[in-house]
Structure 1
Amino acid sequence: MKRLDINLHKHLHSGTVIPAHPLALHEDRTIDVERQRLLTNYYIQSGAGGIAVAVHSTQFEIRDPEINLFETVLKLASQEIEKANLQRPFLKIAGICGPTQQALEEVRIAIKHKYDIGLLSMGGLQGWSENEILDRTRAVAGEIPVFGFYLQPSVGGQVFSYEFWQKFVEIPNVVAIKCASFNRYQTLDVMRAIANSTRKNDIAMYTGNDDNIVVDLMTTYQFPVNNEIVEIEFKGGLLGHWAVWTKKAVELLAEIKMYKNNKKLATESALLSKAIAVTDSNAAFLIQLINFMVAYLEYMKS
Structure 2
Amino acid sequence: MDLRSHLLAGHVIPAQPLALDRQRKFSERHQRALTRYYVAAGSGGLAVGVHSTQFEIRDPQHNLLRPVLELAAATVRAELSAAPRNFALIAGICGRTPQATREAELALSLGYHAALVSMAAFKTEPEETIIAHVATLAGLIPVVGFYLQPAVGGRVFSYSFWRRFAEIPGVTAVKIAPFNRYQTLDVVRAIVDAGRDDVALYTGNDDTIVADLLTPFTFPHHGRPVTRRIVGGLLGHWGVWTHSAVKLFREAQAAAQQPVISAEWLRRAVAVTDMNAALFDSANAFHGCIPGILEVLRRQGLVESIHCLNPHEALSPGQAEELTRVGLAYPELTDDAFVAENRERWLR
Using structure 2 for the length normalisation, give the TM-score: 0.81
Which whole-Å deviations, capped at 9, do the CAs of 1:3-54 have from their partners, x for residues lacking one?
A: xx42x32221010000000000012221000000000000000000000000
**Structure 1 partner of 2:210:** 214
Matched residues, percent identical? 48
**Structure 2 partner of 1:234:** 230
SS for the counterpart of 1:163 is: helix
Distance change in 2, residues 1:222/1:61 (3 Å) = same
**Structure 2 partner of 1:106:** 103
SS for the counterpart of 2:115 is: strand
Pick one of 38, 47, 65 that aligns with 2:42.
47
Q: CA deviation at 1:300?
A: 6.0
Q: Which residue identity does 1:19 align to in structure 2? A: P
Q: Which residue identity does 1:276 align to in structure 2? A: V
**Structure 1 partner of 2:55:** 60
Provide the C-alpha distance between the structure 2 equivalents of 1:197 and 1:156, rounded to a whole number of angstroms. Answer: 27
Provide the C-alpha distance between the structure 2 equivalents of 1:297 and 1:155, rounded to a whole number of angstroms. Answer: 17
Aligned counterparts, 1:1-302, within 5 A: 5-6=1-2, 8-84=3-79, 85=81, 86-198=83-195, 200-265=196-261, 268-287=262-281, 290-291=287-288, 292=291, 299=311
Q: What root-mean-square deviation, in Å, do the aligned CA atoms of Structure 1 and Structure 2 show?
A: 1.9
- 4+ aligned runs moved over 3 Å, structure 1: 288-301
Q: CA deviation at 1:261?
A: 1.9
SS for the counterpart of 1:52 is: strand
**Structure 1 partner of 2:339:** none
Q: CA deviation at 1:296?
A: 5.2
Provide the C-alpha distance between the structure 2 equivalents of 1:298 and 1:176, rounded to a whole number of angstroms. Answer: 30
Q: Which residue identity does 1:147 align to in structure 2? A: V
SS for the counterpart of 1:262 is: coil
SS for the counterpart of 2:287 is: helix
Q: Which moved more, 1:218-227 or 1:284-293?
A: 284-293
Q: Which residue identity does 2:107 align to in structure 1? A: A
Provide the C-alpha distance between the structure 2 equivalents of 1:129 and 1:37, rounded to a whole number of angstroms. Answer: 40
CA contact (8 A) 2:216 2:227 kept: yes
Provide the C-alpha distance between the structure 1 equivalents of 2:63 and 2:194, rounded to a whole number of angstroms. Answer: 39
Provide the C-alpha distance between the structure 1 equivalents of 2:144 and 2:21, rounded to a whole number of angstroms. Answer: 31
CA contact (8 A) 2:24 2:309 kept: no
In structure 1, the gaps of 5 or more residues are none
Q: Which residue identity does 2:35 align to in structure 1? A: T
Provide the C-alpha distance between the structure 2 equivalents of 1:22 and 1:38, rounded to a whole number of angstroms. Answer: 11
Which whole-Å deviations, capped at 9, do the CAs of 1:208-267 have from their partners, x for residues lacking one?
A: 0000000000001000111100111101000000000101111111111111222344xx
CA contact (8 A) 2:174 2:199 kept: yes
Q: CA deviation at 1:181?
A: 0.3
Provide the C-alpha distance between the structure 2 equivalents of 1:205 and 1:167, rounded to a whole number of angstroms. Answer: 16
Provide the C-alpha distance between the structure 2 equivalents of 1:246 and 1:179, rounded to a whole number of angstroms. Answer: 20
In structure 2, the gaps of 5 or more residues are 293-305, 314-348
CA contact (8 A) 2:56 2:309 kept: no
Distance change in 2, residues 1:163/1:259 (3 Å) = same
